[in-house]
Structure 1
Amino acid sequence: MAGKVDWAACAEEQQKMLASELKNLKVEQGGEASVQHHTGDGDSPEDNQPDEAISSAEVSLLQKVIRKGLITSKYDIEVQRKDPNSPLYSVKSFEALKLRPELLKGLYAMGFDAPSKIQETALPTLLADPPHNMIAQSQSGTGKTAAFVLAMLSRVDLNQNHPQVLCLAPTYELALQIGEVATKMAQFLPAMKIVFAVRGEDRPRGTRLTDHIIIGTPGKVLDWGVKYKFFDLSKIRVFVLDEADVMIATQGHQDQSFRIHKYLPSTCQVMFFSATYEQQVMEFAEVIVPDPIIIRLRREEESLDNIKQYYVLCSDQEAKYNAIANIYGGITVGQAIIFCHTKKTAGWLASKMAKDGHSVALLSGELTVEQRISVLDRFRQGTEKVLITTNVLSRGIDVEAVTIVVNFDLPIDLQRRADCETYLHRIGRTGRFGKMGLAINLCDSRNMHILKDIEMHFGKEIKPLDTEDPDDIVKLSQK
């Protein structure tokens, strides 16, 4: 498709196209997921197995979707720099950054009132003259995309009609996320031109790009810059590499990023972002980023202190369902996440709750990326009040309105022992942002040893709950 990308059309069609890149990843990893509808009868043997894991690229994308518009503040900043004389500043307002008025107007139009933790620390450094290189570790939901996009837009000289900023992302979907942020932030700067270098975007030989910013995936950018010479990599002033940990997990992307980096001028400002700080990521960063300032966001450890934990002794699956029905009949529930061990159980429970009039969303490993995005969007917006899921959603998903987490099945590992780490991540989906949370474990007599192992591991009592007793139900809503 020749010519300038229609970003508005891209945004409108995002839901239709989200599955493409990650579905390719699934094929590379040995098979594409199929969609089935479970009724609990006549299921295949695979339905009784623990649900499949999903790729790191997909995890990152789902986190971005669920945290859209949400910036949390439970972070401590750790800054490292090689030059102790290098000044570091922080700002409490965007006005203090002395931005172009059009960019400031764009920020406010997007609903940004004050900088997040990473923005107030990173932006003065990213916008300083002379430019500083940066490595930042931060999870989705911290505002880091807005930080580096603002820096990208601020560095552009609109009088020079050639690519000056290059931003790499590991997949089409993640590149699109960055592009949407950039387009919205630059909405009052019509002269700012952004081009999308991803699969499906083709140019005739001999093309010379006049856009200011290129956002794309490593393979396409390498083709455009080195093979076809659509733009001059030696004129790039800012190089951003986002989702480095996902980049490493995607075959070929790391090597392609190294090759692109070799053509950049020594004066180019480099920004490197990753959600993790593993050794492999840091080795990648050391090659890409000379003399960096390093920012780490140390997230507050997930704690059980503000989560009330109970267990209900149930004779069978129907008794577990009745326990949930009694809880819903006795207290007001905002939004709830219910964790099941298998797709078969999750499908059975979703069907049963829906028949009883609950607005239920079902999320399991068999769904396509597009379907998962749709499910999470509806749950985040409150369209559905109950999210029934397997372990695909046990980590990293924060929804402020979640008041109850139910373990329909206790988490176990492959040896059928208590999986305490998964338990922590599961019930940590409630009690977020300093609020009180409620975790209810449904178990039968055969699994009581698993519950006791979890209790012993965390040193926290899990109290019995009789869901047939209205007085016991009432105490759930008491602090």
Structure 2
Amino acid sequence: MADQAAPAQEAGGVENAQTEGSGQVPISSMLQEPSYDVEVQLSDLQKDEENPLGSARTFQELGLPNEVLQGLVAMQFQKPSKVQERALPLMLSDPPRNMIAQSQSGTGKTAAFVTTVLSRVDFTKPTQPQALLLAPSRELARQIESVIGQIGQFVNNLGVATAIPGAIPRDGRVDKPIVVGTPGTTMDLIRRRQFDVSGLRVLVIDEADNMLDQQGLGDQCSRVKKMLPETIQILLFSATFPEKVLKYATVFAPSANMIKLKVQELTVKGISQMYMDCPGEADKYEILCKLYGLMNIGSSIIFVKTRESANRIQESMTRDGHKVSVLHGAYEGSERDALLDDFRTGKSKVLITTNVLARGIDVSTVSMVINYDIPMKGMGDAMHDTETYLHRIGRTGRFGRVGVSITFISDKKSFLALQAIANDLQVDLVSLSPEDWDETEKRVQRVIKSSRAQANFNPSAAP
């Protein structure tokens, strides 16, 4: 059974630990973590204890295996981020407790659950699967695999199997202690008895808002969970948790501790959010081409609604002399891996994609995200999709770096949808006009070339 592609749902993030999965040496000493408070809600079980676990100011306080500490030091992690500070003691507690964590991109959540997994696995059993990490796309699964390899680089017998389409042959077996995959492929491997789940200790679900949504991958995740040991520790992570998904999450991970941030704190702090008021739908392409020069200052991602639209825009831009690439779910897995590698390494600087890349993918050089089509959801695109917007724009402005998002509007429906998104996130969007291109270029360049964009950065007021 092929993994279902997530519908036009959210987007969100695997942080580069504090540059996760980017293939680059992390420079955590240069990171400026946004200021926010982490709210902790202990489960009833934990509340009953006389001394509930608090927070850890250093990784050494956590009692991590030496090899894991070495990996964190090698990656230049100087101290736990605020989310790691509160989440790691709870996730590493004995006996293990479930966790539901709402934590935005850029806060170190991937490193938090990877550190927990590496601490839970017994690597003297190198062929027994003990930890399963599920993600909505092969790209995100591969990125998590990369983070495990970086933090676990000093662990003896470290082995990671990828349960993604095409990775494990029909006559093969899952014979590594850590398994990272997508839910449909994982379910098939278990059903075909290629994957022995009897020794699993930890289940991690990243981008849990989409993974547990019944319109997304929820059915597959539920079926996988029913096949796993009842004693397994469940860790759910996501940048957003809509109310209906959160209710289900508390059933999926019973008696879970919870950590969360306030909604307005989820807006990525380093992004100046703008919108382009296009005269009509037919004018969007010409305006996109005019922005091409600005897209190449760093790297840029253009989000569109459909695969067909992505292909059409890429063909037109290439014909008009612009170098752009396209990536979406119609490509074979190996092609998708190669296209993303080219984008990571800078061979390709402008990437057109659908929501397949909206979640979790971290490429440190991305300075601009363009919402060519505004994210909508429901039958007939009936309603604005704030979560997808939030996750999409989170592909830039990572870890205190500068970033710009530009959303195209071309009619009353798209204007009202963007207005509703801005209200949900409590942000003011900067208007760009196609009538005054010199001023538009100045405003965008001012942000991209500034040393740091703030959440309330106003290009019109900047010196």
**Which TM-score band applies after superposition, normalised by the shorter structure?**
0.5 to 0.7
CA apart distance, 1:367: 2.9
Equivalent residue in structure 2 for 1:78, among 14, 27, 39: 39
Tell me the equivalent position of 1:439.
406
Equivalent residue in structure 2 for 1:337, among 283, 301, 323: 301
Residues 313, 403 of structure 1: alpha-carbon distance in 2 compared, 3 angstrom cutoff = farther
Residue deviations 1:65-123 (CA, integer Å, cap 9, x gap): 99624899556422222244333232233233344433322333345443233332233
Q: Superposition RMSD on alpha carbons, in Å? A: 5.0
Aligned partners of 1:423 and 1:99: how far apart in 2? 35
Corresponding residue SS for 1:24:
coil
Residue deviations 1:427-470 (CA, integer Å, cap 9, x gap): 66556666463525364xxx3x3354346544757646245654
Aligned partners of 1:177 and 1:463: how far apart in 2? 35
Aligned partners of 1:157 and 1:411: how far apart in 2? 43
CA apart distance, 1:474: 3.3
Alignment of 1:78-477 (within 5 A): 78-81=39-42, 82=44, 83-84=46-47, 85-128=50-93, 130-138=94-102, 142-155=107-120, 166-170=130-134, 181-182=147-148, 184-190=150-156, 192=157, 194=159, 196=161, 200=169, 213=177, 215=179, 217=186, 239-243=201-205, 245=208, 246=211, 249=217, 254-255=222-223, 257-258=225-226, 260-262=228-230, 270-275=233-238, 276=241, 277-286=245-254, 292-296=256-260, 300-302=265-267, 306-313=272-279, 317=282, 320-328=284-292, 333-390=297-354, 392-393=356-357, 401-409=365-373, 419=384, 421=386, 424-425=389-390, 435=402, 437-439=404-406, 441=408, 443=410, 447=411, 449-450=412-413, 452-454=415-417, 457=420, 458=422, 463=431, 465-467=433-435, 470=438, 473-477=441-445
Structure 1 residues 348-357 or 452-461, which shifts more?
A: 452-461
Aligned partners of 1:138 and 1:223: how far apart in 2? 34
- Could you tell me whether the CA contact under 8 Å between 1:337 and 1:388 is conserved in 2? yes
- Could you tell me whether the CA contact under 8 Å between 2:21 and 2:144 is conserved in 1? no
Residues 110, 54 of structure 1: alpha-carbon distance in 2 compared, 3 angstrom cutoff = farther
Aligned partners of 1:331 and 1:273: how far apart in 2? 35
Corresponding residue SS for 1:378:
helix
- Could you tell me whether the CA contact under 8 Å between 1:346 and 1:388 is conserved in 2? yes
Equivalent residue in structure 1 for 2:21, among 55, 65, 68: 68
Aligned partners of 1:154 and 1:394: how far apart in 2? 30
Residue deviations 1:378-417 (CA, integer Å, cap 9, x gap): 3344332222234555566565544444454566676577
Alignment of 1:2-81 (within 5 A): 24-26=2-4, 53=7, 68-69=21-22, 73=33, 76-81=37-42
Q: TM-score, normalised by structure 1?
A: 0.62
Aligned partners of 2:70 and 2:369: how far apart in 1? 40
Aligned partners of 1:255 and 1:415: how far apart in 2? 29
Tell me the equivalent position of 2:455.
none
Residues 332, 87 of structure 1: alpha-carbon distance in 2 compared, 3 angstrom cutoff = same
CA apart distance, 1:350: 1.7
Aligned partners of 2:219 and 2:273: how far apart in 1? 40
- Could you tell me whether the CA contact under 8 Å between 1:53 and 1:365 is conserved in 2? no
Aligned partners of 2:347 and 2:115: how far apart in 1? 32
Identity of aligned residues (%): 28
Residues 132, 335 of structure 1: alpha-carbon distance in 2 compared, 3 angstrom cutoff = same
Residue deviations 1:327-355 (CA, integer Å, cap 9, x gap): 44589743333344454443333233334
Aligned partners of 1:395 and 1:355: how far apart in 2? 30
CA apart distance, 1:253: 5.5
Q: TM-score, normalised by structure 2?
A: 0.64
Residues 164, 79 of structure 1: alpha-carbon distance in 2 compared, 3 angstrom cutoff = farther
Aligned partners of 2:346 and 2:130: how far apart in 1? 37
Residues 214, 25 of structure 1: alpha-carbon distance in 2 compared, 3 angstrom cutoff = closer
Tell me the equivalent position of 1:16.
none
CA apart distance, 1:165: 7.5
Corresponding residue SS for 1:68:
coil
Residue deviations 1:164-192 (CA, integer Å, cap 9, x gap): 982134589687766665555444343x4
Aligned partners of 1:476 and 1:175: how far apart in 2? 33
Aligned partners of 2:387 and 2:162: how far apart in 1? 38
* Structure 2 unpaired stretches of 5+: 181-185, 447-458
Residue deviations 1:195-241 (CA, integer Å, cap 9, x gap): 8596548799xxxx9x8x4647467568879xx9x89x5xx6x7101
Residues 177, 274 of structure 1: alpha-carbon distance in 2 compared, 3 angstrom cutoff = same
Aligned partners of 1:472 and 1:214: how far apart in 2? 49
* Structure 1 unpaired stretches of 5+: 1-22, 30-51
- Could you tell me whether the CA contact under 8 Å between 1:407 and 1:442 is conserved in 2? no
Residues 347, 113 of structure 1: alpha-carbon distance in 2 compared, 3 angstrom cutoff = same
Residues 367, 114 of structure 1: alpha-carbon distance in 2 compared, 3 angstrom cutoff = same
Residues 294, 333 of structure 1: alpha-carbon distance in 2 compared, 3 angstrom cutoff = same
Residue deviations 1:344-375 (CA, integer Å, cap 9, x gap): 44333323333454331213443344434433
Corresponding residue SS for 1:278:
helix
Residue deviations 1:256-301 (CA, integer Å, cap 9, x gap): 5345424x5xxxx734334355322321212xxxx54333455633
Aligned partners of 1:184 and 1:462: how far apart in 2? 39
